[in-house]
Amino acid sequence: MNIVGKFQQWRSYRRTVNELNTLTSRELDDLGISRYEIPMIARRGR
């Protein structure tokens, strides 16, 4: 993969992490997500 593709993947990962981190613990719980799972979930989103 080229540098542009890698950068786009990284930006998508960061965007997902940032958006999930803005949710309250209650909202994450409603989605069945723990805070420690956020990076793993963001990586899966590729």
- pLDDT averaged over every residue in the chain: 94
Provide the domain count of the chain. 1
Query: What pLDDT was estimated at residue 31?
Result: 96
Return the closest-CA partner of residue 9 out of 43, 41, 35, 34: 43
Residue 40 structural domain: 3-44
- Whether the full predicted model's pTM is greater than 0.85, yes or no, is no
Q: Output the six-digit token pair for 11.
A: 């930006």
Q: Are 6 and 31 in contact (CB under 8 A)?
A: no
Query: What pLDDT was estimated at residue 1?
Result: 73
For residues 7-16, give the mean pLDDT.
96
**pLDDT of residue 46 exceeding 90:** no
